[in-house]
Structure 1
Amino acid sequence: MNASEYASYDGLGLAELVSRGEVSRQELATLALGAIETMNPYVNAVIETYPGAIASAERTTPSGHFDGVPFLLKDIGSHDADVTFELGSRLTRGLKSPPQASELVNRFRQAGVTILGRTNVPEMGSSCTTEPLLHGPTRNPWNLERSAGGSSGGAAAAVAAGMVPIAHANDAGGSIRWPASCCGLFGLKPSRNLNPVGPDTALALNGLAAEHIVSRSVRDSAAMLDHTAGPDIGSWCHTPRLEGSYLEALRQPLKPLRIGINLDPVFPPTTVQREIVDTLRDTGLLCETLGHHVEEARFSFDHETLLKAFAIIWSSNLRSGIELFSEITGNAVDEEHLEPHVLAAYRDAGQVSASKLVWALEQMNIASRAYGAFFQCYDVMLTPTGAMEPFEIGKIGKIPAPNFYDWFIAMCSHCPFLSTANIAGIPAMSVPLHWSVSGLPIGSHFLARMGAEPLLLQLAAQLETAQPWAQRVAPQHISRYR
C-alpha cells in the first residue's frame, strides 16, 4: 500500500483491510507517520508524534471497529496518561498530563486506534482559529493562507491533509463543527456528556464542552460513538446513549423531517456572507428533494443577556485554569506566558463575583428553553456553520483585546450559529455539502433535540449519499505528494 491508497480510505475502510490481513497495523502506522512527515511542514497540524507509535500498533488480538487505524489526540480536553499536554500555551510549555488517562482516551484505544501523537490548538482552546504563539498557526489544506478553524484546527487539518482518517476533537463553542466546515470534513458535536469527560471533571467548561472526533465519512463518526458513548464510573450527569448501535442506525429508513431554516445570526448579531446564504438555501432544496419539509423559521431568545453570561463563563474558566497551571508550573501570569485575549480574560474574570458567575450559569437556561420550544415544531434546525468562508491567517490576531468581552464578541461573530448548541447541550453537526467559488469548503449546520444523535447521523448519511464529498481532495493532501 502506498500513501495515496492509504489516504483514500476512511477509518472503517482501513480497519476492514486489517481484518482481512491485507495490511498490518504497523504498516498503517508507518504510512501515517510518513504522511505526517510529508504534509506537516505545510499545514502545521501535528505538534508531536510519539516515538513508540509503531510499536504500540502491535496487538495480539483484534480490537474494535477501528483496529489499527492511525489516530491523533487534540492537545486539550481528554488526554492520555503521562504525555506532554500543553493546551497551546506558553504558560504550560512542557507540562505533563496526569498519570491516569481520560476515560474517553481509554475508549478510543478499546475501539482499536493507534495513537500517534497530538494536534495543535489555540491557547487554552479559546479561539475560532488555531494560531497559538507556542506552536504557530495551523494552515488550511484547501488554502495555506486561510485558517483551519479552531479550536480543533490541528485535528481537522490533519484529516483533510490525509495524515489520518479520523482525529480526536472537542467543542465548547463550535470547535468541532467550525474546523470541520473550514476543512471539508464531517463534524458531530454530541449531546452534553454523551461521551464521557471524566474522571478529571464532571462538566467540562461548566457543561459547554463535548468530546468526539472529526472524520471524512459519516459512518466513522457513528461507529466511534458505538465505542465511546455512555457514562463513565461515577459520572455526575450524562445523556443516555442509544440502546442499539449508532452505526447500524445509519441503515434504518429516515422518516420525512420537519426542517426549519434559521438565517438570523444573533449570537452575536453579524452579517452572513451572501455566498453562505445561497449555499444554505441549496442545502434546504437538497433536503426537500430527499422528502423533507423545509421552511424558514424564526428562532428568538434574549441573546444580549446570554452573550454576557457566555463571556463570563468562558473568562471565569480561563482564569481558573490559568491559576492552576501557574501554580503547577511556577510561571508568571503575564504577557510572556499568555496571549493578549487570554490575559484579558484572566484580568476581567478577577472582577466577577461568585454570585455573578452563578447568575451567568443560570442564564444557560435561556438557550435550553428556546431550543426546546423550537423543537416542539421542528425535528431539525438548519443554519450556516459559519458566517463566512474560512478567513485569512492572522485576522483574529488583529482584534484588539482591551477587555475580554469585546474581543470575545468580535471573535464569535465569525461563527454566530454555533455556541448556543453548547449552552443548551444539544447535538449539532457540520456537513460538507458545498465549496465556494474560490474553492473553500462551506459547511451546513444541523441541530436537533437532546439525545437525537441517531436522527442527525441518519440525515447526514442520506445527504452524503445524495451529494458525496469524499472524492474532493484538498490541494495540500498526501495523495498529491506521493
Structure 2
Amino acid sequence: MDDLFDLDAVGQAEAVRAGKVSPRELAEAAIARIEAHDGEINAVVHRRFERALAEIDGLAGDAPFLGVPTLVKDLGWSMAGEPYRAGSRVLDGVEVARDGYGLAKLRAAGFVVLGRTNTPEFGTAITTEPRAFGPTRNPYDVRYSPGGSSGGSAAAVASGMVPVAAGGDGGGSIRIPASLCGLVGLKPSRGRVSYGPSTGEAWAGFSVSGMLCRTVRDSAATLDVIAGTMPGDPYGAPAWPRSLAREVGADPGRLRIGFLSEHPGRPGETDPDLTAAVTGAAGLLEALGHDVEPGGPGALGEEDFALHFGTVVAVHVAADLEDIGRWRGKPVDLDEVEERNRILGATGRGLSAVDYVASRDWIDGFRRRMAAWWESFDLLLTPSLGVAPFPLGWLPSGDVSMARGRTNRAVAFSSPVNATGQPAISLPLHRTAQGLPVGVQLVAAAGREDLLIRIASQIEAAVPFAHTAIRPAASH
C-alpha cells in the first residue's frame, strides 16, 4: 500500500478504475498516513474521517477522481455541516450551511474529503502559524515554515498524506507554499473558479481558489474539474479551447520568455538561491528551444504598488470582521484577533470609501501597464518567493515593522500577479544546500493557463520533479 503514496491523484484514480485498489482502501491508507505523521506536521486541523468513509458507500459512476482522498484549506472552501475557522477562534461554534461551488465540484469529481487544513488567521500571512491551532511544519525540515496561507494543504501533499489538496491564493498563498514544499502550485486566472454561492469575489478579485499538487497533470486535471463560471458570478475567465488535461505534453511552440532574478524595485536584495533557481530555469528553457532574455515589465517595480495593494487588503479584512460578527451573532472586538489582523482591521476601518476606490482605480491602471509587456512576450520567469526558505518564527509577532518588511520582500514577485489577475505557476526546480525546495514562477497573459500547462509539462518531462519528503521521518 505504501506504493500508493508515490502515485499522484490521476494515478490513484486510474488504479481505482483498474480495480487495483478500492476507494475505501485509498481513504483508509490516507487516514493512516495522517494519523502517523500529522502529529509532527500539524497540517490537518479538522478531521472528518468517519463521515468521509460513510460517503464512500455512495460513490458511483465514472467521475474522473472517483475515490481519491483529498483535504481542503480551512479558508474559502466552505463545506456543509462542517466547522469553518479560517485559522481563528473567533469562529468557534460556527458551522457552514451548504457547500461552496468549488467544494461541490470536488465532490462531484469523486474526491473524498478527509478534513480541513491549517491556515494563518484569515489567510493574511506568508507562514502558517496561527495562534489558534499552532504552526504547521515543513516536511522537508520541521524547523522551517511550509509557507502560507495554504501551508497546511501544501505540507499535507508534500508529506504524502494526500496526493492533492485545495488552497487559495490572494498574494501568493498557493505559489509560496508550493515553492517551500517542493510542489506544483498553479494560481488560476481571476474568475476561473467561482467563489459562490455566498461570495462574489475575495479581496477585490485578488484571491482565487486552486490546488496544491505534486505533478503538472494533476494541476491541469484538478483545475478542469473546479473551474467554471457559475450563475451570478461578477465575472469569469475566458474558456480554453480544450481541457487543460489535454494540454499536458502538448508542444508549447517556440516561446519568448523574459526572466528576472532580481526584483526591479528591490535591487540587491535577492538571495543567491533564488538567483540560482531562476538562472538555472532560464538555461533549461533555452536548451528546450525557447528564446530567453533578461527583463520584465517595468510596472513590476512601481513603488506605490504595496500601498494600494495593502489598502485593498486592509479594507477587506475590516469588512470580513464585520461579516464574521454578523455570522456568529456577536461583533468581533479587535482584541480577539492576532496583532497582524488587529492592525489590518483598524487600518481598514480608518480608510474611507474614497480611499478604497482610489486604490482600486490605481490597481486598474497597474494591470494595464503590466499587461502591455505580454504583448511582446509569452511568459515571465521569476522566483516564486522573494526570500529564501525561512524558519518558523521568522515573522516576529512583536515587531510589526520587521514583519511587514519581510512580508513585502517575500511577496514582491507574487502579489502583483494577484492584482493583475493573471495565471501563474510555481515549479520545484531548485534545492538549497540544506535540501530545502525553492520554486520558480512562470506568469502568462490573462486566461492562458493552457500555455502554462504546456510549458510546465515540457519542463517536468525534461527534469522530473523529486518529492523526497513524501515519506517523512518520525523525527528530524
Asked if TM exceeds 0.5, the reply is yes
CA–CA distance in structure 1, aligned partners of residues 360 and 435 of structure 2? 40
Change (3 A) 1:237 1:267: farther
Alignment of 1:38-117 (within 5 A): 38-50=36-48, 51-97=50-96, 99-117=97-115
Q: Per-residue deviation at 1:56? A: 1.2
Equivalent residue of 1:62, what SS? coil
| Structure 1, 355-364 or 410-419: larger mean CA deviation | 410-419
Mapping 1:13-412, distance limit 5 Å: 13-50=11-48, 51-97=50-96, 99-265=97-263, 271-301=269-299, 303-329=302-328, 330=330, 332-335=332-335, 337-398=336-397, 400-401=399-400, 407-412=403-408
TM-score (ref. length: structure 1): 0.94
Shift of residue 82, structure 1, vs aligned partner: 2.3
Instruction: Report the 3-state secondary structure (helix = DSSP H, G, I; strand = E; otherwise coil) of the residue aligned with 1:145.
Output: coil
Q: Provide the C-alpha distance between the structure 2 equivalents of 1:325 and 1:42, rounded to a whole number of angstroms.
A: 31
Displacement of 1:119 in angstroms is: 0.1
Letter of the 1:425 counterpart: G
Gaps of 5+ in 1: none
SS at match of 2:63: coil
State the shift of 1:359 in Å: 0.5
Q: Give the drift of 1:112.
A: 1.0
Of residues 406, 410, 414, the one that matches 1:414 is 410
Which range moves more in the overlay, 299-308 or 203-212?
Answer: 299-308
Which letter maps to 1:55?
A: A
Residue deviations 1:260-315 (CA, integer Å, cap 9, x gap): 00233257777110121022101000001110110001422262222111111111
The SS at the match of 2:186 is strand
Distance 1:385 1:277 in 2: 11
CA shift in 2, pair 1:46/1:216, >3 Å: same
* 1:445–1:399 Cα change, 3 Å: farther
**Shift in alpha-carbon separation, 1:8–1:419, aligned structure 2, 3 A:** same
Range that drifts further, 253-262 or 222-231: 222-231
1:478 Cα deviation (Å)?
Answer: 5.3
The CA deviation string for residues 190-227 of structure 1, in whole angstroms up to 9 with x for no partner, is: 00011111111222211001111010010011011221
Report how far residue 379 of structure 1 moved: 0.2
Give the secondary structure class of the aligned counterpart of 2:95: coil
* 1:449 alignment partner in structure 2: 445
Maintained 8 Å contact 2:322/2:331: no
Conserved? CA contact 2:84–2:94, under 8 Å: yes
- SS of the equivalent of 1:121 reads coil
1:100–1:60 CA distance, 2 compared to 1 (3 A) = closer
1:435 equivalent in alignment to 2:434: no
SS of the aligned residue for 2:406 comes to helix
Could you say if the C-alpha distance between residues 319 and 267 of structure 1 is closer, same or farther in structure 2, counting changes exceeding 3 Å? Answer: farther
What is the aligned length?
A: 472
Q: How far, CA to CA, are the matches of 1:109 and 1:366 in structure 2?
A: 39
The letter of the residue matching 1:120 is N
> Distance between the aligned counterparts of 1:21 and 1:108, measured in 2?
22
2:333 partner amino acid: V
Deviates more, 1:9-18 or 1:56-65: 56-65
The answer to whether the 8 A contact 1:142-1:440 is kept is yes
Report the alpha carbon displacement of residue 242 of structure 1 after superposing the two structures with TM: 1.2
Could you tell me how far apart the structure 1 residues matched to 2:439 and 2:296 are? 21
CA contact (8 A) 2:321 2:332 kept: no
Task: Kindly provide the amino acid, as one letter, of the partner of residue 102 in structure 1.
Answer: G
Cα offsets for 1:79-119 (capped at 9, x unmatched): 1112100000122223212x121111111111110011000
Conserved 8 A contact 1:128-1:178:
yes
Q: Which moved more, 1:454-463 or 1:367-376?
A: 367-376
Q: Is the 8 A contact 1:194 1:238 kept in 2?
A: yes
User: Post-superposition shift, 1:415?
Assistant: 2.8
Q: 1:56 aligns to what SS in structure 2? A: helix
SS in 2 for 1:94: coil
User: Is the Cα contact below 8 Å between 1:160 and 1:185 reproduced in 2?
Assistant: yes
Distance 1:355 1:277 in 2: 40
CA distance in 1, matches of 2:386, 2:357: 31
* Residue deviations 1:319-351 (CA, integer Å, cap 9, x gap): 11112213433264143x211110011111121
Matches of 2:459 and 2:443, distance apart in 1 = 15
- What letter is aligned with 1:89? S
8 Å contact from structure 2 (residues 261, 274) kept in 1 = no
Q: CA deviation at 1:68?
A: 0.7
Cα distance change on mapping 1:480 and 1:150 into 2, 3 Å: same
Preserved contact between residue 296 and residue 380 of structure 2 (Cα < 8 Å): no
- Alpha-carbon shift at residue 144 of structure 1 (Å): 0.3
Q: Percent identity?
A: 34
Structure 2 alignment gaps of length 5 or more: none
CA contact (8 A) 1:128 1:412 kept: no
The 1:219/1:298 distance shift into structure 2, 3 A limit, reads closer
Aligned equivalent of 2:419, options 409, 420, 423: 423
Q: Is the Cα–Cα contact under 8 Å of residues 198 and 232 in structure 1 kept in the other structure?
A: yes
In the other structure, the counterpart of 1:477 is 471
Q: 1:234, 1:327 → 2: CA distance?
A: 23
